[in-house]
Amino acid sequence: MRHSHVCIAALAIIATSFDASAATLVWSDEFEGSFGYPDQSKWSYETGGDGWGNSELQYYTDRRDALANAFIWENKLIIKARKESYEGMAYTSARLNSRESWLYGRFVIRAKMPSGAGTWPAIWMLPTDNAYGTWPDSGEIDIMEHLGKDSGTIYTSLHTEAQNHMLGNSRSASFVVSDATSAFHDYRIDWTETGIWFYVDDELKYYTPNESVEGSEDASASWPFDQPFHLLLNMAMGGWGGTVDESVLPQDFEIDYVRVYSLEGADGLAYRYDGVDVNGWTDNPVLGQIYVRLDPWIWSDRLKTWLYVPTPPDEIGGWTYVFN
C-alpha cells in the first residue's frame, strides 16, 4: 500500500476529549488511614494460584493479618508481592475487584509501580456479566500494565472477540513514563459509547474509536464495551512479566486513590476541528467535507478515502494525514 502525507495548517484545534469541569465524581476510594485493610464494602478479593491463564506464578490471598498482601498504609493501598511458598506457588500477592460496576465514565487511578523483573501490576476492567460470552468475547479494558523487566514502559490495550492478544491484533499502545517506579501518576480513561481515550496525567496517549456498525449482528465482536464493567487492581508475578528476580522481593504496588466520574452533562465528543455538525461532518478547504466521528480516522468526501491522523499538531498548528 502506498502512503502519502499532506500537511494541513488550516484546521483550528479544539479539545481532544471532554470538559473536565463537567465530570461528576460518583465513586471513590481514597484509602485513608495510617493502617488498615481494603474496605470490603467497596472491594472483594479474588484468590487462587492456578496461573490465571497467563502462566502466572503467584497465589492471590485474602489475608487480613500481619501477612496481608493488600493493606492500607499511610493513606495508600499497598499490594505487596512476596517470595513465599503458599498453596503450591512460589509467590503471594493480591487481586481486588470493585464491587461497583459502571457503564461509561472517567476512571482515574493514581499509582506508583513496583520495580524488578517479574513484577506485573495492572489496573484494568472486566465485564460484570459476560453478556456476549466468556473471555475475550465480552471484552477487557487494560487501563495500565507495567512490566518490571521493561521498567517505565506502560501498556494499554483492549481485548475483544475479533481483536485480542491470542490473535495478535489487540488494539494497544505502549509509551514511556520514565519515573513510573519512583513517582505517582494518574492513569485514566474516558469511556463513552463512541470510543475510549487513555491518558497519563491528563496527557492523551491513545485513542480507539467504536468502529462497530450500529445494529449489526456481530457488532459486539469488535465493540462489546456497551455493558457494565468493574475495576481490578492486582500484581501478578511471572507470566508476561517474565523471569522473576527474587533479589528485589518483596515489592509494592502503591495506589493513592481510585476515582470514578460520570461524563453525563459533559460536552460530549469535542472534535479537533471547528464547525462539526451533529452528524460528524465539517468542511476543510483542502480535503472538502470530512467526516470526523471516528477521529483520528477521517473520511474526505473530496478525496473519497479514509485518512489517519497519526501525530498531534506541529508548531504551526498543522496535522499530518496518511492516506489509507
Q: What sign does the CA torsion over 265, 269, 274, 280 have?
A: negative
Spatial separation of the C-alpha atoms in residues 76 and 30, rounded to whole Å: 7
Q: At residue 220, what are phi and psi to the nearest 5 degrees? A: -70, -20
| Structural domain range at position 174 | 20-262
The DSSP bridge partners found for residue 308 are: 297, 322
Can you give the pLDDT of all 324 residues of the chain as single tens digits? 333 334 333 333 333 445 555 689 999 999 999 999 999 999 999 999 999 999 999 999 999 999 999 999 999 999 999 999 999 999 999 999 999 999 999 999 999 999 999 999 999 999 999 999 999 999 999 999 999 999 999 999 999 999 888 898 889 999 999 999 999 999 999 998 888 989 999 888 888 878 775 556 678 998 999 999 999 999 999 999 999 999 999 999 999 999 999 987 665 555 667 777 767 788 887 788 888 766 667 778 887 877 777 665 555 556 667 665
Q: Are 224 and 308 found together in one domain?
A: no
Residues belonging to the active site: 140, 145
**151 closest CA partner among 69, 256, 248:** 248
Per the structure block, which three cell numbers stand in for 50?
Answer: 492456578
Query: What pLDDT sits at residue 316?
Result: 53
In the numeric block, the cell 493513592 is attached to 256
Structural domain count, the chain: 2
Asked whether residue 244 falls in the same domain as residue 281, the answer is no
Query: What DSSP line would sit under 267-316, residue for residue?
Result: -----SSS---TTSEEEETTTEEEE-TTTTEEEETTTTEEEE--S---TT
State which of 231, 262, 293 marks the end of a domain.
262
Closest CA to 225 of 197, 199, 196: 196
175 and 318 fall within a common domain: no
At 231, list the grid cell.
475495576
SS3 category, 142: strand
For 29-156, where are the alpha helices, taking DSSP H only? Answer: none
Residues 153 and 275 in one domain: no
Which CATH number do you get for residue 95?
A: 2.60.120.200
Same domain, 175 and 231: yes
Q: Are residues 207 and 71 both part of a single domain?
A: yes
Three-state secondary-structure class, residue 155: strand
Nearest to 46 by CA among 227, 234, 250: 234
247 and 275 assigned to the same domain: no
- Side chain identity, residue 70: A
Identify whether residues 65 and 116 lie together within a single domain.
yes
Are residue 102 and residue 241 in the same domain, yes or no?
yes
Global pTM value: 0.81
Q: Based on the fold, state whether residues 168 and 284 are members of the same structural domain.
A: no
Pairing of strands 89-93, 77-86: antiparallel
Question: Are both 207 and 305 inside the same structural domain?
Answer: no
Q: Which of 215, 236, 262 is the last residue of a domain?
A: 262
Q: Give the pLDDT score at 193.
A: 84
Same domain, 192 and 63: yes
Whether residue 159 contacts residue 170, with contact meaning beta carbons closer than 8 Å, is answered with: yes
User: Given 211, 237, 262, which residue is the final one in a domain?
Assistant: 262
